Amino acid sequence: MIKVERPKRTVTIKQDIRDGILSYCKMNHPNEGILILRGKAKKGLIFVDGLVIPPFSYSGPTFAGFPHSFLPFDPSYVGTVHSHPTGQAKPSVTDLHNFFGFVSVIVQAPYEDGDIFAYDRDGNPLEIAISPDKS
């Protein structure tokens, strides 16, 4: 059997975007919060440089979502980020069934720097890097 090495897949998030994600999650606690990630994806590398609050989004203590039909076409959408107020950052079956884009980022309570995790559509973890803002 030949083992094929996959290129390392990394999600790079700008520092100010990471800060915005953490603030949004804290603001929505104890409910889940959900945002759309904007950026670029190429050859397994995903760069996140913007956020969108999805129109008509809804949430509660154990769910968050939005109707995809109200989104305008935008090729810069690379995935979603949502919070898990219970503190468990693993994707649920529902998370995987509602996968959108290239990456699903999950933020666990208490929503600090080390509480952000990224997954592909199969639930495999992806490496996250934080990019410093350019002044």
Q: How far apart are CA 72 and CA 92, in angstroms?
A: 27
Please state the rounded mean pLDDT for residues 67-82: 94
Confidence of residue 8 (pLDDT cuts 50, 70, 90): confident
pTM of the shown model: 0.91
Residue 69 included in any domain? no
Phi/psi for 125 (5° steps) reads -70, 145
Secondary structure of the chain in the HEC alphabet?
CCCCCCCCCEEEEEHHHHHHHHHHHHHHCCCCCEEEEEEEEECCEEEEEEEECCCCCEEECCEEECCHHHCCCCCCEEEEEEEECCCCCCCCHHHHHCCCCCEEEEEECCCCHHHEEEECCCCCEEEEEEECCCC
The domain that holds 108 is classified in CATH as: 3.40.140.10
Q: Which domain holds residue 85?
A: 10-61+75-131
Residue 109 included in any domain? yes
Q: What is the pLDDT of residue 133?
A: 76
Encode pLDDT of 18-51 as tens digits.
999 999 999 999 999 999 999 999 998 999 999 9
Q: What is the pLDDT of residue 3?
A: 64
Residue 47 included in any domain? yes
Confidence of residue 87 (pLDDT cuts 50, 70, 90): confident
Q: How far apart are CA 103 and CA 92, in angstroms?
A: 14
Residue 108 included in any domain? yes
Q: Where do we find the tokens 């104890």? A: 30
Residue 66 included in any domain? no
Please state the rounded mean pLDDT for residues 121-132: 96
Domains contained in the chain, number: 1
Residue 97 has pLDDT above 60, yes or no: yes
Mean pLDDT of the chain: 93
Residue 26 included in any domain? yes
